[in-house]
Amino acid sequence: MEIKEYAKTSKIPLKTLRWMKRTKTISDPLLDEDLIGMKLLENLWGLHDFLRPQLSQKNIKYRKALIDTCDLETKWERYAYSRFMNLEPNKRLFMNNLIVEIEFTYRFKLSIFEIKKLYRVRKRAHRAKERQMKKELNEEQNQGMEMSNNDLEKSEPEIAK
């Protein structure tokens, strides 16, 4: 059975099956032993008890980055997202420069549709940075409130003599 045919009825996406073929985990067309392994993998696919131990081996920063970018389909989209997220405050990354950078790095010309995708990635990264900055600001304010409430002279009850 061809990989494309198998992907039509499988939980496992075609892109993942192609990756498995490139890494020589499976062959195309699929052999009987490949089909047995794929059936096992389909039974485990997406189960929390299967994913949790895999993710627990990674640090929290990696896990958050993975979650933030898991629905970005291509490497160049994830690259663009990380470029925007890693920008220093008050620095700018111009879209024309990023487009040239992506085309040079990944060796293909971005179409109009892909450029529109790139603008969506930028908007998403900006929103994520805003949320991150709000969260940090709230944490700083909460920390300041805790420190003011921990004044020993104010918090100890007066003892009547």
User: Considering only 15-24, 37-46, 106-115, 132-141, which range has the smallest mean pLDDT?
Assistant: 132-141
Please check whether residue 72 lies inside any domain of the structure. yes
- For 84-124, how does the pLDDT look when each residue is reduced to its tens digit (9 = 90+)? 998 888 889 999 999 999 999 999 999 999 999 999 999 99
Shared domain check, 43 and 92: no
Shared domain check, 68 and 119: yes
Whole domain around residue 26: which residue ranges?
A: 3-54
pTM surpassing 0.85?
no
Shared domain check, 81 and 47: no
How many C-beta neighbours within 10 Å does residue 116 have?
A: 11
Shared domain check, 124 and 96: yes
DSSP string, 11-64: SS-HHHHHHHHHTTSS-SSPPHHHHHHHHHHHHHTT-HHHHHHHHHTS-HHHHH
Average pLDDT score over residue span 135-144: 79
pLDDT confidence bin for 29, thresholds 50/70/90: confident
Mean pLDDT of the chain: 87
pLDDT confidence bin for 69, thresholds 50/70/90: confident
